Amino acid sequence: MEKKAYTVSAINKYVKNMFLNDGFLSHVYVKGEVSNCKYHTSGHLYFTLKDNEGAISCIMYRSSVQNQKLQLENGMKIQVSGRIDVYERDGKYQLYATSFEQEGLGSLYEKYAKLKEQYEEMGLFDPSFKRPIPKMCDKIGIVTASSGAAIHDIMSVSMRRNPYVQLILYPAKVQGQGASLSIAEGIRTLDAMGLDVIIVGRGGGSMEDLWAFNEETVVEAIFKSHTPIISAVGHEKDFTLSDFVADLRAATPSAAAELAVFDISLTLRQIDKYKNELDLRFASQLRNKKAKLDSYLKALKHLDPSLRVTSMRNRLEQKALYLDQTFFRLMDQKKNKLKYYALKLDGASPLKRLKSGFLYAENQDGKHIVSVNDIKVGDQIQGYLIDGLITSRVESITKNKG
């Protein structure tokens, strides 16, 4: 007789129907300790519920998560209400939670809470002890497992942001027996190297997986470190005591790399911006200086002795031309006056009168005779005519009546 073989999906569907038809599994209350708790970006909540002998995967959809007042953390003891069903694709059964409430703290979480209170009272978490992380780190130390996801994430982010930053890894044991001693030794070793910052951390896990970062040896090593330390343990919802004592807490190792490694592209863009600003300022200064130089050159041209001499020569030539014109004008005026006076003199000339028949008479002493009173009978007189001189003697004198 031929045996019938079923497909995987057929078996999963059959099992799913078994769960659906089981009234007990459709609404159950399950209690246990929370582990691997993760609030997803989708809004769903994933966690594991465990006890000393077993564990079950749980999921709560966003619509139910929004109604919960309690924020789940690893190590909490809770009671969950929901249904047991099969995720048909993977053939995996899990608890689909609709609500939960805190039943009591687990023993590991109680230990965590006591240690936190103890260290806080000692002042190890005081903000006054925290040092700033340098903005431009050249050498970054890393304390984590050499083969874990954390170192790969840090290297990937560092290569993307700034491939010139030097990463120095101390390969530490981050889980299990001896992990805390290995982590503390890594912190002390890198601290002695004079680095800019140290990243201490690992990838996600349960509270037990991350417990080494709650140990006193690690907390003390971080507190005593002279080098600023970024704690990057687990995922965003995971908190260890290393986070509180460190100078800065990062949600993940990748986030720690983002904080520690400065983005070289931003720096180069800033440098380009400064260069452009300097170029613009230099060009502006150069234009201003050139404008001043041009004004000085123009001023020098006005002060140039040769230009002044030329200007003076031009003015002298203009003056000379003016004087020449004035001289000739005055000469013409003088000539005209001279002609006028010459004509006037000519009209009064004795010679002209002599031509008209007049006689110019002088006594024997050479004085001009203008009146009969200037001579007496018997005086010798001389008379000048137009063409000669006569000498005569006065025989008689007759005065005009009147």
pLDDT of 371 = 82
- Buried/exposed 255-283: b ≥16 CB within 10 Å, e otherwise: bbbbbbbbeeeeeeeeeeeeeeeeeeeee
Structure tokens at 42: 């989708």
166-171 and 139-144 as β-strands: parallel, antiparallel, unpaired? parallel
pLDDT tens-digit map of 122-174: 999 999 999 999 999 999 999 999 988 899 999 999 999 999 999 999 999 99
Structure tokens at 133: 């992380």
In whole angstroms, give the CA distance from residue 32 to residue 102. Answer: 10
pLDDT of 358 = 73
pLDDT of 352 = 66
In Å, what is the CA distance from 72 to each residue of 27, 44, 93, 233, 237? Answer: 21, 12, 22, 18, 9
Confidence band of 98 (pLDDT split at 50, 70, 90): very high
In whole angstroms, give the CA distance from residue 279 to residue 131. Answer: 38
Nearest alpha-carbon partner for 254 in 332, 383, 176, 160: 160
pLDDT tens-digit map of 277-329: 998 998 899 899 888 888 888 877 776 666 666 777 788 788 878 877 887 88
Q: How far is the first Cα of the chain from the last one, in angstroms, to the nearest whole number?
A: 205
Nearest alpha-carbon partner for 92 in 198, 8, 190: 8
Confidence band of 105 (pLDDT split at 50, 70, 90): low
Q: Taking the CA atoms of the chain, what radius of gyration do you get in angstroms?
A: 64
pLDDT tens-digit map of 214-249: 999 999 999 999 999 999 998 877 789 999 999 999
Residue 106 scores a pLDDT above 90? no
Nearest alpha-carbon partner for 31 in 56, 13, 11: 56
pLDDT of 392 = 86
Residues linked to residue 149 through DSSP beta bridges, in sequence order: none
DSSP for 144-178, written as a single string: E-SSSHHHHHHHHHHHHH-TTSEEEEEE---SSTT
Let me know: does 369 contact 375? Beta carbons within 8 Å.
yes
User: Among all chains, which residue has been given the structure tokens 């001389």?
Assistant: 382
Q: Most confidently modeled of 47-51, 346-350, 383-387?
A: 47-51
Share of the chain above pLDDT 70, in %: 93
In whole angstroms, give the CA distance from residue 333 to residue 322. Answer: 16
- By three-state DSSP, how is residue 79 classified? strand
| Residues sharing a CB contact under 8 Å with residue 165, sequence separation 6 or more, in sequence order | 137, 138, 139, 140, 158, 261, 262
Domains within the chain, CATH numbers bracketed:
8-105 (2.40.50.140), 112-124+134-262 (3.40.50.10550), 351-393 (no CATH)
pLDDT tens-digit map of 389-401: 888 888 888 888 7
User: What is the rounded average pLDDT for all residues in the chain?
Assistant: 87
